[in-house]
Structure 1
Amino acid sequence: MGKTEGQKLEEKLCYKIKNIGMEKPEEIEKAIEFCEGYKKYLDNAKIEREAVKYSIEMAEERGYVPFERSKKYKTGDKVYFNNRGKNIILTTFGKRPLIDGVHFNIAHIDSPRLDLKPNPLYEKDEIAYFKTHYYGGIKKYQWGVTPLAMHGRVMLKDGTAVDLNIGENEGDPVFVVSDLLPHLSQQQNQRKLADGIKGEELNIILGSTPIADKEVKKAFKLKVLSILNEKYGMIEEDFLRAEITMVPAQHAVDVGLDRSLVGAYGQDDKVCAYTALMAELECKEPEYTTVTVLVDKEEIGSVGVTGMAGDMLLHYMEDLVEAEGERVRDVLRNSLCLSADVNAAFDPTFPDVYESNNASYLNRGPVLTKYTGSRGKSGSNDASAETMQRVISYMESDDVMWQIGELGKVDAGGGGTIAMFIANMDVDTVDLGVPVLSMHAPFEITSKLDVYYTYKAFAAFNK
């Protein structure tokens, strides 16, 4: 029996998002294979410095060289710019002149975590601790009794840089924030969920062994210092010259009996950073010059010299166009940007905060997010109809399955991305990224099909 006239009309006129696994089952194995590299990236790039270092290693293997001001580049040339070791810009020069615009793809490589306070080390009741100050938007109670690793950089007094990575390798100790046992938590249970563990209770246990000297006043603190001094040459004053952070010690793993999902810390937004990076690395002779940017500080407002609210990208673009004798404002006005950031995947356990027609779902591909922000689109870039059409056409021309979405119900909350900062540079911009379950938790979840298809979307945009 053939289709009815109504069915034909429905097929012609109605919009329907499809599940990639159902429509293209042959892509499942490709996605699984692609995500093996992604999991390795997550394990080697838990903080910004590590992400930049690992990305440079990958880039140099593909022929990228450091960018040189005033040098004239040709189609297919590949360069990178390392900004202070905490963000990186990669470029593949295209067939068209820069005045025709460039294709930006910008993701962030910082994630919520526990930073150490400037003077963090203390002891209390014969236990040594670190005091922390959380970074970015977290549910503080999720960070209790979670095995943590110590990452970061310490600058010693003589100028020597010491990089820390403790808790990731087999045999390493880990660190933890303790929580009350249920037998004694009656008062704690009366707190609001947001205060289940308070900010000043996010104290990291370091050890419980004293220095064997009864004349020492802070024997447990001194024991920790003696270990750090022996291994790294540190003294307590060096904490004042340090950036040390605590992140989950869990490595990236497969989730589910079918291994269809990736579970790991820091997928917001390293999932977009990795997919954008891979699309950049594999780009050969694009039509438009590509500028892929992995940035810092998005989780706290994109501030500072390595964040998108600063001028580091503008200065890079000024240097880039200088060799062609063009004005940077003209290049930017003709450019197009994908703000590569995640969206909230629909969670059937908590459906009330989502509006189903405009939610993003696992296994339906990357999410095109026209606007972010809170409530009345506050703090948002709102992409134009023309920008939406251009980006959609790139995906459709390469048969990339995608979906539309926004971050929950209008009055349920909200959040922002770097899109508004690049749009403020007079660049047409829209958000595109992977839907994530349990976003900002110590253990986030993504679909391998979504990760792979986000890479395909970025590759289509670059091509």
Structure 2
Amino acid sequence: MKAVEVPVQNHDFVSGLLDFITRSPTPFHAVAVMVERLLQAGFTRLQESDAWMLEQGGLCGRFFITRNDSSIIAFRLTGPLTEHGIHMVGAHTDSPCLRVKPNPVLAAGKYLQLGVEVYGGALLNPWFDRDLSLAGRVSFIDADNHIAHRLIDWHKAIAVIPSLAIHLDREVNDKRSINRQTDLPPVLMRQDGGMAEDGTAFHALLLARVNEEMPDDLPAAARILDYELSFYDMQAPAVVGLQDDFIAAARLDNLLSCYTGLMALIADEHGHNALLVCNDHEEVGSMSAAGAQGNFLKSVLSRLCGSDEAMARMMATSMMMSVDNAHAVHPNFADRHDQNHGPVINEGPVIKVNANQRYATNSETGAMFRQWCAAAGVPVQSFVVRSDMACGSTIGPITASELGVRTVDVGVPTWAMHSIRELAGCQDAYNLYRVLLHYFAN
């Protein structure tokens, strides 16, 4: 197994991760940042609509492709795919959040509020009393009468969901429940004159923001057509703990895996054939053109192989590592874990196992991951959900069944998963990066 040089200190890696999360409030922004890093590293952008002039059999090079601006595949080819296969890493760009509705304006009373949908399995209590901003993709007609799209981000706290005072709800600490329709609309501002509930005034706010962020060399936006906007917490990611043990941030699930996979792919130019896929919509079931149940990855691999025969031969020698955060044992709720399978933060990445195939790991792929961890000098842990509790899932089983590829489900131990602010270990993030370097290289 080829040795791989890695940085001695994880400080720079963790700092880069925090910056990536800060710049990625939505899946669209995360993909945009990844595209920027790939271009800087010398990767070539491909378009799905173009003919790919890639020579089959002796293909070499570094490329990437996006779909819906929210999913991305990047790959490095160093030798024949049918002979050597390809080592793949899968992650997802989306996280639970509050999405703005198409006709969102709630103009009752003296305040402007926006109606929201809960995206994914969000932990809702932590969304109250936070400084919220708004970001996403806006589609519009420009001054040349063309449909165009733009990413926007207010970059400041523009909204809040205030809690009801305990004096008006004396049982809140014992019996609190949240009505998603009536309790969650954020407050944006006081208004005296009122705002039309048909959304025209909100579109005017969006139009102004789009044009503020529009480069001078592009036509101005003239009329808003549609949008996908999400509220997010303005509190910056941070390293916390008395000994700087932890990373506290929004969207660690699963931007931590996206960043780790990206940096490992970029770091080594001459290892094994390697691919990173980061899909959108994992948190809502992956059933979309940009999700893992769509044909994005299969389509790209089929085009690289050139025939069904070549595709089948490549899959037989390939591997998929589904990288998604795992549940660390919570010191206040240790009884929620199987007593023999309670991952501890900063004691290594976790192999996730489920007999009912909610995770795709089997004994063969688990053994291979343990071998890569040993080669990287990284400890490894196991997670199995309690037998009397339901188990979550990942893109691992979806990809394994769609492609017929050997798959292992792994991730770093995390607290407060799906909260507005999650917690993971600094050393775990760095150790996962070290393992992925070995995986991509061999």
Instruction: Report the TM-score when normalising by structure 1.
Output: 0.84
Amino acid aligned to 2:77: F
Structure 1 residues 431 and 199, CA, compared in 2 at 3 Å: closer, same or farther? farther
Check whether the contact 1:346–1:359 (CA below 8 A) recurs between aligned residues: yes
Residue 357 of structure 1 corresponds to which residue in structure 2?
340
Contact 2:95-2:283 at 8 Å conserved across structures: yes
CA contact (8 A) 2:324 2:412 kept: yes
Distance change >3 Å, CA 332–CA 345, structure 1 → 2: same
The change in CA–CA distance for 1:221 and 1:382 in structure 2 (over 3 A counts) is closer
Rounded Cα–Cα distance in structure 1 between residues aligned with 2:198 and 2:226: 23
Q: The residue matched to 1:358 in structure 2 has which SS? A: coil
Task: Give the 3 Å change call, closer, same or farther, for CA 135–311 of structure 1 in structure 2.
Answer: same
Relative to its length, the structure with more helix (as a share) is 1
Q: C-alpha distance in 2, partners of 1:203/1:334?
A: 50
1:161 aligns with 2:155: no
1:437 aligns with 2:437: no
Pick aligned residue for 2:377 from 372, 393, 399: 399
DSSP-derived class of the 1:79 partner? strand
Residue in structure 2 matching 1:273, options 220, 240, 258: 258
Q: Is the 8 A contact 2:89 2:320 kept in 1?
A: yes
1:48 aligns with 2:36: no
- Tell me: CA distance 1:29–1:144, structure 2 relative to 1, closer, same or farther (3 Å): farther
* One-letter amino acid matched to 1:203: P
Identity of aligned residues (%): 22
Q: Where do 1:323-362 residues align within 5 Å?
A: 326-362=309-345
User: Residues 378 and 151 from structure 1, CA distance in 2 versus in 1: closer, same or farther, beyond 3 angstroms?
Assistant: farther
Please name the residue that 2:434 is paired with.
Answer: 456
**Rounded Cα–Cα distance in structure 2 between residues aligned with 1:320 and 1:439:** 36
- How far 1:132 moved relative to its partner? 0.3
- Aligned mates of 1:354, 1:94 — CA distance in 2: 43
Q: How many residues align?
A: 418
1:60–1:130 CA distance, 2 compared to 1 (3 A)? same
What is aligned with 2:229? 244
The Cα of 1:221 is off from its aligned counterpart by: 7.9
SS in 2 for 1:241: strand
Is the CA contact (8 Å cut-off) linking 1:137 and 1:299 kept in structure 2?
Answer: yes
Unaligned runs of 5+ in 1: 1-26, 372-376
Does the aligned pair in 2 maintain the 1:206–1:224 contact within 8 Å? no
Q: Which amino acid aligns with 2:187?
A: I
Partner Cα distance (1:163, 1:28) in 2: 34
C-alpha spacing 1:190/1:381, structure 2 compared with 1 (3 Å): closer
| Correspondent of 1:35 among 4, 14, 17 | 14
Asked if the contact 1:264–1:444 (Cα under 8 Å) also holds between the matched residues in 2, the reply is: yes
Question: Are 1:210 and 1:220, in contact at CA under 8 Å, matched by a contact in 2?
Answer: no
Alpha carbons of structure 1 residues 154 and 392: separation in structure 2 relative to 1, 3 Å: same
Query: In the alignment, which of 202, 218, 229 is matched to residue 184 of structure 2?
Result: 202
Asked whether the 8 Å contact 1:32–1:260 carries over to 2, the reply is no
Distance 1:185 1:28 in 2: 53
Distance 1:37 1:241 in 2: 33
Q: 2:349 corresponds to which residue? A: 366
Residue 333 of structure 1, CA deviation: 2.9
The farther-off stretch of 109-118 and 217-226 is 217-226
Q: Which moved more, 1:384-393 or 1:145-154?
A: 384-393
Corresponding residue for 1:16? none
Q: CA deviation at 1:326?
A: 4.9
Change (3 A) 1:98 1:400: farther
Match of 1:327, SS state, is helix
Cα pair distance change 1:229/1:97, threshold 3 Å: closer
Structure showing greater Rg: 1
Q: Report the CA distance between 1:440 and its aligned residue.
A: 0.6
Spell out the pairing of 1:51-200 with structure 2 (5 A cutoff).
51-67=30-46, 69-72=52-55, 77-157=61-141, 158=145, 159-166=147-154, 168=155, 172-186=156-170, 188=172, 191=175, 193=176, 195-200=177-182
Cα contact 1:111–1:268 (8 A) shared by 2? yes
Change (3 A) 1:259 1:76: farther
Shift of 1:182: 0.6
The corresponding residue for 2:215 is none
Cα distance between partner residues in 1 of 2:209 and 2:231: 19
In 1, Cα distance between equivalents of 2:270 and 2:308: 22
Q: Distance in 2 between matches of 1:119 and 1:222?
A: 9
1:224 Cα deviation (Å)? 5.4
Q: Which deviates more from structure 2 when the two are superposed, residues 172-181 or residues 413-422? A: 172-181
Match of 1:387 among 365, 384, 397: 365
1:370 maps to amino acid:
V
Query: Is the 8 Å Cα contact of residues 128 and 221 (structure 1) preserved in structure 2?
Result: no
Q: Is the 8 A contact 2:319 2:406 kept in 1?
A: yes
The verdict on how the C-alpha distance between 1:231 and 1:52 changes in structure 2, with shifts beyond 3 A counting, is: closer
What CA distance in whole angstroms lies between the structure 2 residues aligned with 1:270 and 1:46? 10
Partner in structure 1 of residue 3 of structure 2? none
1:415 corresponds to: 392
CA distance in 1, matches of 2:64, 2:7: 32
**How far apart are the structure 2 equivalents of 1:151 and 1:390?**
40
What SS does structure 1 have at the residue aligned with 2:107? strand
| TM-aligned CA deviation for residue 370 of structure 1 | 2.7
CA distance in 1, matches of 2:94, 2:199: 30
Computed over aligned residues only, the root mean square deviation of the Cα atoms, in angstroms, reads 2.7
AA matched with 1:63: G
Offset of residue 131 of structure 1: 0.2
More deviation, 65-74/220-229: 220-229
**Residues of 2 paired with 1:325 and 1:128: CA distance?**
56
Uncovered stretches (5+) of structure 2, i.e. residues with no partner: 1-5, 212-219
Work out the CA distance in 2 between the residues paired with 1:365 and 1:155.
Answer: 43
Decide whether aligned partners of structure 1 residues 447 and 351 sit closer, same or farther in structure 2, where only a CA change above 3 A counts: same
